Amino acid sequence: MRVARLLCLRMKLNTPQSPRRLLVVDTDHDLADSMCAWIGLTTQWTAIPAYGAEQAVAKAREAPFDCVLLDIALASAEGIDTAAMLDEANEGSHPAILGFTGDADLRDAASTDKRFVASLLKPADSERLLGLLATLIGPG
């Protein structure tokens, strides 16, 4: 009976309905936590906060993420540098990285960097963010 349950659980996790993993990286703990809660309530994504570049890279090494919502203006490291570190930490699994910043110049810089699939200004347009996340779900 236990083996059957494990097989059913494994099959369920491998279906397209399985939640995708999203890492929300921002040094503002309240913002990261709020974004994770909101995304968890409104999407099929499992959102996990990281409060800086070092913590983001450590979490990416633990288990790969499908997507990263990355503050481009992190205090400890530029978001563009952090994107490179996250790419390396995922060992062949390249997450879709969404840039997120209050600085229009940094947003523009991220929009020309191939590691970023999109870049958003804070406060983000919630419909655009949800639309981007929906397009990234795709088949499991």
Cis peptide before 139 (omega within 30 of 0): no
User: What are 88's two structure tokens?
Assistant: 């390396």
Per-residue pLDDT of the chain (140 residues; tens, 9 = 90+): 333 333 333 333 444 556 799 999 998 999 999 999 999 999 989 999 999 888 999 998 898 899 999 988 776 556 667 877 887 776 666 788 898 888 788 777 777 777 788 888 888 889 999 999 998 875 44
Rounded to whole angstroms, the Cα distance separating 26 from 52 reads 6
Confirm if 70 and 25 have CB atoms less than 8 A apart. yes
pTM reported for the whole predicted model: 0.79
Domains of the chain: 19-137 (3.40.50.2300)
Give the integer Cα–Cα distance in Å for 137 and 123: 23
Joined together, the tokens standing for residue 4 give 């059957």
